[in-house]
Structures are given as structure tokens and as C-alpha cells.
Amino acid sequence: MYLEVLMMFLAAGLIAAAALVVGGLLGPKKPGEVKLSAYESGVPAVGSARERFPVHFYLVAMVFIIFDLETAFFYPLAVKFQAAPQFLFANAVIFVAILAVGYVYLLRKGVLNWK
């Protein structure tokens, strides 16, 4: 059954590779120093783009992982939910309540509040 997924990726990869090859072959090739420099509003580029970045992005990614994991645990719960709805609902509420503490903490710390 999962060979079908492989077929899908093969077909998509084939299309992407074909597009890249055809585009690469058919386009003209007239490189120039200015043409191949990084775009910086028409003036020569200053420094490298390999700069250090705001720590907030890291924080967002970190918090995302945590809540993504929470969601990952909810999928089996949701699938089996109708087997024991009240019991599982109570468990989900406890689980959410624990994480809600963290969520409120994030809100209070202003992490989710970009400026």
C-alpha cells in the first residue's frame, strides 16, 4: 500500500527534475558580475547575509515543537475517542490544563506577542 506513496514521489520528482533540466538547457547563459550579485536595492551588497538572527524565531520554533507534540498525542486520542468518550475527555482536559499553564506563562512573558 505504501509503495503508492513511493510512486507519487517518483512522479513528482520526475516532473521537478525534468523542469529543472529543460529550464537549464533552454535558457540563455550570459552571466555578469553585477547580474550575479545579491540584490540589495540597486546598491552593491554590504557584508554577507550570514548574519545572526533574532532569538525570537528560536523561541517560536521551540514553543512550536512543544505544542506540535501535544497535537501528536491528541491524534491517537481523537481516533479512539468514541471507545471511552468521557474517560478520554477527562484525560484530555487534564493534559490540556497542564499545558495551558505553560501557554499562559508564554502569554504573560509576552513570547507570543511580537512587537
Q: Binding to another protein (CB under 8 A): which residues in 37-76?
A: 37-41, 43, 45-76
The span from the CA of 102 to the CA of 112, in Å, is 12
Site for another protein, residues 10 to 39, rule: CB under 8 A: 10-17, 19-20, 22-24, 26-31, 33, 35-39
Output the smallest distance, CB 15 to another protein, in A: 5
Output the smallest distance, CB 44 to another protein, in A: 11
The span from the CA of 76 to the CA of 69, in Å, is 12
| Count of residues that bind another protein according to CB under 8 A | 102
Output the smallest distance, CB 104 to another protein, in A: 10
Task: State the cell numbers at 114.
Answer: 511580537
Q: How far is CA 111 from the centre of its chain?
A: 18
The span from the CA of 62 to the CA of 101, in Å, is 16
